[in-house]
Amino acid sequence: MTFATEFVPTAGEVGMLPMLTYFFMTFAAYCFLGNVFFSLLTNQSVAPEHRISRAYGGVIAIVAGVSYYLITRFYHGMLQDLSHLTDPAARAALIRHSYQAIGQYRYMDWAVTTPLLLLKAASMLRIRYSEAATAITVMLLADFLMVVTGYIGEQQLTASGEIIVGGKLLWGAISTVGYVVAVVALYGLYKRFAERGNETERWGFRFIGYTTVTTWGVYPLGYLLT
């Protein structure tokens, strides 16, 4: 690699949308890595019973930050290649293949961060594993099933990069089942232990729960659209 390839291409070379994508991925990486330092520096200011929740948040931020850093670096390489292509069909093919290849890192990230986010929600109400072992185990296994089967679904491609529709829909359906089971298990924990927490703790649990239902729920739609 020469020094020249380290420079970020301009919108004039690759287009505005790829550059905005690069901008926001880099921005996300900085935010997550910054959150790591925030978690470390403020840990002692948190009540002892909630320090485990802060620890979960720190690990989530580390994994997500590193993941986005890797994605950004690979995307940067793709932009360099894109800047040297002039044929519209070749440019479109490169963008499509890069999305499919780089996007795999999202699932590797989610395999770690999404179970931790669910555990973080449980810790908001100070739920110990021994108190709800079955519910927590089912929730975590369903979450992992959701991620792994979603990853397998994304791999339903021919050698030329064309989507194998039947296989993708099948694995996407299985992944959606895992998502629903995880959400139901999380809601069950809230119904069972909500009275234990104060209003702030219940709000924290609900916030993570709503995040799980809404932001995670968008992915099946995007999955189908691809």
In the chain, % of residues over pLDDT 70: 97
User: What mean pLDDT, rounded, does the chain reach?
Assistant: 90
pLDDT band at residue 29 under the 50/70/90 scheme: very high
Enclosing H/E stretch for 1: none
How much is the average pLDDT of 132-147? Answer: 97
Among 81, 222, 80, CA closest to 154: 222
The answer on pLDDT for 186 being more than 90 is yes
Residues 42-70 pLDDT 10s: 888 888 888 899 999 999 999 999 999 99
121 exposure class (CB count in 10 Å sphere: 0-12, 13-18, 19+): buried
pLDDT band at residue 2 under the 50/70/90 scheme: low
pLDDT band at residue 160 under the 50/70/90 scheme: confident
CB within 8 Å of 154: residues ≥ 6 apart:
100, 103, 104, 107, 168, 223
Distances (CA, A) of 59 to 64, 124, 143, 175: 8, 16, 17, 24
Which ranges of the chain does DSSP label H, i.e. alpha helix?
11-14, 16-41, 51-82, 88-102, 104-124, 133-154, 165-193, 199-225
Residues 96-139 pLDDT 10s: 888 878 888 899 999 999 999 999 999 999 999 999 999 999 99
- Amino acid letter for position 213: V
pLDDT at 169: 93
